[in-house]
Every structure is written in structure tokens, then in C-alpha cells.
Amino acid sequence: HQCWHLALGKSNSYGPESGMKKMLTNIVFLIIGATIVLGLVIVCNPSAFWTKVAGAPDMGPVDFATLRGTTKPNQFLMCPDGLCETRKPGAQSPRYNVSKERLKAHFLDVMADEKHEVAEDNGTVFRFIARSPTLGFPDTVSVEFKDAEGGSTLAVYARAQVGYSDMGKNEERVR
């Protein structure tokens, strides 16, 4: 009987050891449960899962001139001088020696390889949904193409819909 009680996490003793065993057992079951849930998300359709959990993945348009953002580290803003006046960008946008139209065409060629969902394309403003490869976490990325002296530039704001941190993924995507 004593062996079965120990195997099932039961003990005749009381005190710190029995509380520690219960806590460790609960942690093991929590890890197993989380692994099963994540496995189901990966095997099933991650896009549909996150839409059910967090709503539509498109977080909507942004106005770069009045953008405030949040304090969460799951977003990144790159902006040219003078456009983002209400929020300090994480990086300044470079100026390119090509027209705004050519910059956008090149940008869209790069995006075509990435297989992102297009949410908006009105000629100047482009918004798409990017997803993490394994779990399909949705991020909304807004891009505005601008004329600049002798060429063009762009403003980019990428933000995660789910979670507090994105481990720098949106900064990596923008840069």
C-alpha cells in the first residue's frame, strides 16, 4: 500500500515535503496540458484558433502622425523625420533613391515571398497580417510610402495582437 500511495502522490506525512510534491505534480500536469494544447494548435489551423481566441487579426489602420501605441514590447515603429510627431520611433526610416511607386513595388515583391494576408492596399498605405511560422501568432503591419527629397521613404508600424512580448520579432521584421 505504501508504494501505491507514493506513486499516486499520497503520503502519510504532512508538512513541507508533501506540499512540495503536490506543487511539483501540479506543475507537471500543467506542462503536459499546455503541451497538448499547443500541439493541437500546431496540428489544427493556427489562424482559425487565434481568430477564435483573440478576434479578427487585423488591428486596423494607423495614422502615423497621431500614433500613440502602447507600452508593450510587442510592437515596433520605424518612421521618417517629421511624420511620427506623437511617438518616438524605434528607428528612423532610410531615404531611398527611387520613386515612391518603385519602392512600394519592390516592397510588395518581397512581401509576396512571405505569403502574408493583405488587409489594405490603397496605393499609399499598405497593411498586412504576418504570422509566426509555428504557432501562427498574428501581427498587423502597417506601411505608408512617402515622397522624400530626391526619392522616397516609408513608415512601418508592426504590432502583435496576442501577448505582451513578441521576443523582438516585430523589430526584426521591420528592420
pLDDT number for residue 170:
76
Q: Span 35-44, mean pLDDT?
A: 68
Q: Is 9 helix (H, G, I), strand (E, B) or coil?
A: coil
Q: Is 152 helix (H, G, I), strand (E, B) or coil?
A: strand
In sequence order, the 6+-apart residues with CB closer than 8 A to the CB of 81 are 92
Indicate the average pLDDT of the chain: 80
More confidently predicted of 83 and 48: 83
**What distances in angstroms separate CA 118 from CA 25, 68, 171, one per listed residue?**
45, 23, 20
pLDDT in tens, 91-142: 999 999 999 999 999 988 887 777 787 888 888 888 888 887 777 778 889 9
Is the pLDDT score of 4 beyond 50? no
